[in-house]
Amino acid sequence: MPDPILSDSRCVLAASTPSDAQHYFGFHDVSPWDPTDNRLALLRVPADLRHTPTAQDRAEICLWDPARGKPEPVGETRAFNWQQGSRLQWLPGPRPRLITNTIEDRVPAARILDLDSGRWGDPIPAIYSISRTGDFALAPDFPNLARHWRDYSYDLPGGSACPPGKEGSLLRVDLVTGESRVLVEVAQARALCGQEHTGAEGHDFISHVTFSPTGKRICFLYRRFASDGALFSFLLSARPDGSELAVLAREKCSHFDWFDDDRILLWTRKLPGRAAALRGSGITRRFPFKQVVAMIRKLNPKLKQSLFAEMYYLLDSRNPGSSEAVGQGILEQDGHPMFAPGRRWMVTDTYAFEGFQPLILFSMDSRTRHDIVSFPVHENFKQPALKCDLHPRWNRAGTKIAVDSAHSGMRQLYVVDASSFLTNSAR
């Protein structure tokens, strides 16, 4: 398998995890770097783990200082998946603390590690995103999510973390007391999205909840699967207490990141109302709609963008329905965006295309695209359940990018130093 191709000499592959095991972090919405930018949190799993993780599989939680080489284990978890890891995160505050999801007596939970004392706290309900103050978190209904979308949950026996009749809702978890309650009911989201009479009940859920940069607002996806397996997604935004709930995008919503406390960059599409209604009615089951769209995307991504108006849009929570296209004709494919501090630059990737996954820097000032590294896609990781997206994540200073890649035949974490590129591009 070929090595990554550096497309810009101002960027360098500064470090990679050792090949004695597989190492990775997970999703693109949080940074693996500690507040000092010296150590990265990551997961280490056996080199031969090649299936969807089960409750019998374990991942070591490690801290990695690239200057010293070998990741050092500080704990373990059985609550992890390939796409989002274990939701391992650094907690804000004066002392270094990590939080990770785990499984306790077949129930999803979370534990906090105080790195000064080396002690793990008692289990609390599982989390997804941490508030900017660090005193509470938000989470999907992980047992319910495991039934609908296993790749984004864990090996759980079923049931729900929500009270009866509220399965699939959004939960608020107090990180001090461990108490949890429903913040937004899935029925409320269903009604707001106009999905009450679609047969969605029992087939819908809330996921991917994220705080804005200062914690002023949250956003999340309301999703449902139709009888033909089609996925319908809606992006909603609210205040952290669940009030001012509004729909920002409909029908197809994918990856996103907050640009500021009011605006969100989202990959979505804007089908005409009649076309969206036809897809919602299930009439597209009568012909190979998905196969045609996939063929168009493979042959000419720009054609798909033109036909379906599918691209990144900047949405404003203060004015639901407003949107600004970003990167039209330049960013032709869905990816995993994350804004650097200062919001002048966005890093993203794409899914495997022609055997490579590009790491892309996009200037929000000049609206220009710069492909800085291309990572080959290994044959063993082309199955959807095992795919290894780059999921690029900035360090705290906005100078380095951590990516997961399996081009070597194992998942490893790589650090790309883009500081020279960014410095020279700013002149």
CA distances from 400 to 37, 101, 226, 266, 323 (A): 10, 26, 41, 23, 30
More confident residue, 34 or 382: 34
Which CATH number covers residue 122? 2.120.10
Residue 299: predicted pLDDT: 56
Q: Tokens for 242, please give them.
A: 């669940």
**In sequence order, which residues have a C-beta less than 8 Å from that of residue 47 and are 6 or more positions away?**
19, 20, 21, 22, 410
pTM: 0.92
Residue 1 lies in a domain: no
Residue 101: predicted pLDDT: 98
State yes or no: pLDDT of 308 exceeds 80: no
Residue 227: predicted pLDDT: 83
Residue 9: pLDDT band by 50, 70, 90 thresholds? confident
Average pLDDT score over residue span 369-383:
94
Residue 366 lies in a domain: no
CA distance 420 to 427: 11
**In sequence order, which residues have a C-beta less than 8 Å from that of residue 23 and are 6 or more positions away?**
17, 42, 43, 44, 45, 62, 64, 71, 411, 412, 413
Residue 306: predicted pLDDT: 63
CA distance 291 to 306: 18
Q: For the segment 127-159, what is each residue's pLDDT rounded down to a tens digit?
A: 999 999 999 999 999 999 999 999 999 999 989
Strands 218-225 and 338-339: unpaired
Of the candidates 25, 40, 65, 14, the residue with the CA atom closest to the CA atom of residue 390? 25
Ramachandran angles phi, psi of 189, nearest 5° = -65, -40
User: Can you give the three-state secondary structure of the chain, one letter per residue?
Assistant: CCCCEECCCCCEEEEECCCCCEEECCCCCCCCECCCCCCEEEEEECCCCCCCCCCCCCEEEEEECCCCCCCEEEEEECCCECCCECCCEECCCCCCEEEEEEEECCEEEEEEEECCCCEECCCEECCCEECCCCCEEEECCHHHHHHHCHHHCCCCCCCCCCCCCCCCCEEEEECCCCCEEEEECHHHHHHHCCCCCCCCCCCEEEEEEEECCCCCCEEEEEEEECCCCCEEEEEEEECCCCCCCEEEECCCEEEEEECCCCEEEEEEECCCHHHHHHHHHCHHHHCCHHHHHHHHHHHCHHHHHHHHCEEEEEEECCCCCCEEEECCCCCCCCCCCEECCCCCEEEECCCCECCEEEEEEEECCCCCEEEEEEEECCHHHCCCCCCCCCCCEECCCCCEEEEEECCCCCCEEEEEECHHHHHHHCC
Q: Supply the range of the domain harboring residue 61.
A: 27-339
CA diameter of the chain: 61
Residue 390 lies in a domain: no
Residue 396 lies in a domain: no
Are the CB atoms for 57 and 102 separated by under 8 Å?
Answer: no
CA distance 421 to 345: 11
Residue 404 lies in a domain: no
Residue 1: predicted pLDDT: 65
What percent of the chain has a predicted confidence (pLDDT) above 90? 82
Q: How many domains does the chain have?
A: 1
Residue 361 lies in a domain: no
Lowest-confidence region among 184-188, 297-301, 412-416: 297-301
Q: For the segment 248-290, what is each residue's pLDDT rounded down to a tens digit?
A: 999 999 999 999 999 999 999 986 554 445 555 555 555 555 5
Mean pLDDT of the chain: 92
Q: For the segment 165-205, what is each residue's pLDDT rounded down to a tens digit?
A: 999 999 999 999 999 999 999 999 999 999 999 999 989 99
Residue 309: pLDDT band by 50, 70, 90 thresholds? confident
Residue 274: predicted pLDDT: 45
Residue 358 lies in a domain: no
Residue 133 lies in a domain: yes
